[in-house]
């Protein structure tokens, strides 16, 4: 296998097939040098290897399953061919233990993406199966160096092992999902990065947690956002230095390390403040032979942004169920059942009255190239991270108000009671999922698919 190992264990594409194995491993999640937790990881590591693909190229990749469970790889946020989307039961059969599957990972859009299983995701991601995929844009970089922060939320038991006893816990599934008690960055409980005063960093942030919406405060670093979910945005400064990212979302930030240097803490502040890590800046102020480009904005991706709303297909999505949700009955595999009997089967959420599965008919079918507009209503007591495969969408309105900036998401966070209308051009043929990326909600019914024909 011809591949070059980059710093950080990254793998670069050189047009040669690459192999990634899912297998068991260990990680020091509790404390560096401390007890080793048994995990499942790509190449046995957490996170798995960083895969770099130059924009516009296609990476042939062989996935080998060395786990005891069937699995797949889904390329989150990547607009690739449907046959390689990695959804077990919809776009491919799950890869059995000892078997392999060959993917063609086409990368039309530059940006920060990630990969993870799409079979028993709620268990396989919680055990550590995920990695980052970076699609590199061509051209001069407007920063000196990049950092990658892959955040995860783990539930460990007293032995500092992954709490397996609580997999499938109905309370988690019917409430906010599986929330953890340990936060890691790049697989470690605390990160320490060094930087030079005056250095300009590009920081890629990924939330791989099953269900926890993360909120990071970058003390006095004044990050500017340049991309969300991989797609460039007009650069803007974060309000009070705080970055909110829902499960599966990514953000690319530009950080100018202050000239006076110092230690800059990064805390997670969604609950009690939790120390995620720090960037320590010291030494002489950064000097460059050639100045960096002034403009930090990223080049546009070849995404179809031309919505034709006048003749769009309109598809309403009512999000229902969960604890304190008021859903009394829903349809599971074509049979209407009350919530109590659904709960006995671990099904507590629904879209449009249907507890979702791949066996249901498509939510809608749309001719290739047509615009889809989808008013989504969160009629539940919990937030949800709504994700669409194979496309990026924009928010037309949130609770009736037009957003202040243009963003092309693959995942959007919706608070209880919120109504968000999204739209996208359905230009990628195939069967694509729409689901909540709080993985317990997905498994318990918040899932559907649509077809672009």
- Residues forming the site for Cu ion (CB under 5 A): 384, 436, 438, 441
Least gap, CB of 446 to Cu ion (angstroms): 5
Least gap, CB of 244 to Cu ion (angstroms): 16
Whole-number Å distance between alpha carbons of 382 and 36: 34
Among 106, 118, 178, 409, indicate the residue that binds ligand C2O (CB under 6 A): 118
Beta-ladder partners of 81: none
Residue 358, both tokens: 């791949």
Whole-number Å distance between alpha carbons of 410 and 231: 9
Instruction: Work out whether 120 is an interface residue with ligand C2O (CB under 6 A).
Output: no
Report, in angstroms and rounded to the nearest whole number, the Rg of the chain calculated over CA atoms: 21
Q: Residue 118 touches which of Cu ion, ligand C2O, none (CB < 5 to 8 A by kind)?
A: ligand C2O
SS3 at position 122: helix
Least gap, CB of 389 to ligand C2O (angstroms): 6
Q: Residue 76 touches which of Cu ion, ligand C2O, none (CB < 5 to 8 A by kind)?
A: ligand C2O
Whole-number Å distance between alpha carbons of 303 and 135: 14
* Closest CB to ligand C2O among residues 210, 266: 210
Least gap, CB of 228 to ligand C2O (angstroms): 15
Among 76, 120, 250, 391, indicate the residue that binds ligand C2O (CB under 6 A): 76
**In contact, 69 and 97? CB cutoff 8 Å:** yes
* Closest CB to ligand C2O among residues 118, 175: 118
Whole-number Å distance between alpha carbons of 175 and 413: 16
Site string for ligand C2O, 315-344 (x = CB under 6 A): ------------------------------
Q: What are the φ and ψ backbone dihedral angles of 293, each rounded to 5 degrees? A: -55, 140
Vertex 91 angle, CA 14 and 42, to 5°: 45
Least gap, CB of 260 to ligand C2O (angstroms): 40
Which residues make Cβ contacts (< 8 Å) with residue 93, sequence separation at least 6?
none
Instruction: Work out whether 392 is an interface residue with ligand C2O (CB under 6 A).
Output: no
DSSP code at position 432: E
Which residues make Cβ contacts (< 8 Å) with residue 272, sequence separation at least 6?
none
Whole-number Å distance between alpha carbons of 271 and 275: 12
Q: Could you please report the per-residue DSSP string of 336-391?
A: EEEHHHHHHTT--EEETTB---TTSPPS-EE-TT-EEEEEEEE-SSS-EEEEESS-
Whether omega for the bond prior to residue 47 falls within 30 degrees of 0, making it cis, is: yes
* Closest CB to Cu ion among residues 155, 200: 155
Least gap, CB of 137 to Cu ion (angstroms): 32
Least gap, CB of 438 to ligand C2O (angstroms): 11
Question: What is the helix (H) or strand (E) element at residue 114, kind and residue range?
Answer: strand 111-116
Least gap, CB of 426 to ligand C2O (angstroms): 17
Q: Residue 65 touches which of ligand C2O, Cu ion, none (CB < 5 to 8 A by kind)?
A: none
* Closest CB to Cu ion among residues 266, 414: 414
Cβ count near 405 (within 10 Å): 10
Which residues make Cβ contacts (< 8 Å) with residue 234, sequence separation at least 6?
297, 405, 406
* Closest CB to Cu ion among residues 407, 443: 443
Among 248, 249, 394, 428, indicate the residue that binds ligand C2O (CB under 6 A): 248
Whole-number Å distance between alpha carbons of 175 and 177: 6
Among 120, 204, 387, 409, indicate the residue that binds ligand C2O (CB under 6 A): 387
Residue whose Cβ sits closest to ligand C2O: 76
* Closest CB to Cu ion among residues 105, 436: 436
For residue 87, how many C-alpha atoms fall within 13 Å in the half-sphere facing its CB?
25
Q: Residue 74 touches which of ligand C2O, Cu ion, none (CB < 5 to 8 A by kind)?
A: ligand C2O
* Closest CB to ligand C2O among residues 116, 202: 116
**In contact, 51 and 130? CB cutoff 8 Å:** no
Which residues make Cβ contacts (< 8 Å) with residue 150, sequence separation at least 6?
47, 114, 130, 132, 185, 186, 187, 206, 208
Among 204, 250, 389, 409, indicate the residue that binds ligand C2O (CB under 6 A): 389
Q: Which residues within the stretch 211-240 sit at the binding site for ligand C2O (CB under 6 A)?
A: none
Whole-number Å distance between alpha carbons of 222 and 224: 7
Among 74, 200, 217, 347, indicate the residue that binds ligand C2O (CB under 6 A): 74
Instruction: Work out whether 79 is an interface residue with ligand C2O (CB under 6 A).
Output: no
Least gap, CB of 364 to ligand C2O (angstroms): 18
Instruction: Work out whether 391 is an interface residue with ligand C2O (CB under 6 A).
Output: no
Site string for ligand C2O, 408-437 (x = CB under 6 A): -------------------------x-x-x
Q: Residue 433 touches which of Cu ion, ligand C2O, none (CB < 5 to 8 A by kind)?
A: ligand C2O
Residues that bind ligand C2O (CB under 6 A): 74, 76, 116, 118, 248, 387, 389, 433, 435, 437
């Amino acid at each position: 296998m011809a591949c070059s190992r980059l710093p950080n264990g990254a793998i670069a594409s050189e047009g040669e097939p690459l192999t990634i194995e899912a297998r068991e491993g260990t990680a020091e999640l509790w404390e560096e040098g401390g007890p080793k937790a048994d995990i499942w990881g790509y190449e046995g590591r957490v996170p798995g290897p960083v895969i770099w693909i130059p924009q516009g190229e296609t990476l042939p990749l062989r996935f080998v399953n060395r786990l005891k469970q069937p699995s797949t790889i889904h390329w989150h946020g990547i607009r690739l061919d449907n046959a390689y989307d990695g959804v077990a039961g919809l776009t491919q059969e799950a890869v059995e233990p000892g078997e392999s599957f060959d993917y063609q990972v086409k990368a039309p859009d530059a940006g920060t993406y990630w990969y993870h299983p799409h079979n028993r995701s709620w268990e396989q991601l919680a055990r550590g199966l995920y990695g980052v995929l970076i699609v590199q844009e061509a051209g001069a970089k407007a920063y000196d160096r990049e950092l990658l922060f892959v955040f995860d939320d783990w539930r460990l038991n007293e032995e500092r092992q992954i709490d397996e006893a609580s997999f499938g816990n109905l309370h988690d599934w019917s409430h906010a999902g599986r929330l953890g008690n340990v936060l890691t960055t790049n697989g470690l409980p605390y990160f320490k990065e060094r930087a030079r005063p005056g250095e300009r960093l590009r920081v890629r942030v990924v939330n791989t947690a099953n269900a926890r919406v993360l909120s990071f405060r970058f003390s006095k670093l004044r990050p500017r956002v340049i991309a969300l979910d991989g797609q460039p945005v007009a650069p803007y400064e974060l309000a009070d230095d705080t970055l909110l990212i829902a499960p599966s979302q990514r953000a690319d930030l530009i950080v100018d390390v202050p000239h006076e240097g110092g230690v800059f803490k990064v805390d997670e502040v969604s609950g009690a403040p939790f120390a995620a890590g720090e960037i320590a800046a010291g030494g002489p102020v950064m000097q460059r032979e050639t100045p960096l480009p002034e403009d930090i904005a990223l080049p546009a991706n070849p995404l179809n942004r031309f919505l034709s709303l006048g003749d769009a297909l309109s598809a309403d999505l009512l999000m229902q169920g969960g604890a304190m949700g008021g859903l009394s009955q829903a349809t599971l595999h074509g049979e209407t059942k009350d919530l109590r009997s659904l709960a006995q089967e671990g099904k507590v959420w629904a879209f449009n009255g249907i507890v979702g599965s791949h066996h249901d008919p498509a939510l809608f079918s749309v001719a290739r190239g047509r615009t889809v507009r989808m008013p989504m209503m969160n009629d539940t007591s919990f937030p949800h991270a709504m994700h669409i495969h194979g496309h990026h969408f924009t928010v037309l309105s949130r609770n009736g108000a037009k957003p202040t900036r243009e963003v092309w998401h693959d995942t959007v966070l919706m608070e209880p009671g919120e109504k968000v209308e999204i739209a996208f051009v359905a230009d990628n043929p195939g069967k694509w999922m729409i689901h909540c990326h709080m993985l317990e909600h997905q498994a318990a019914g918040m899932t559907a698919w649509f077809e672009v024909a």
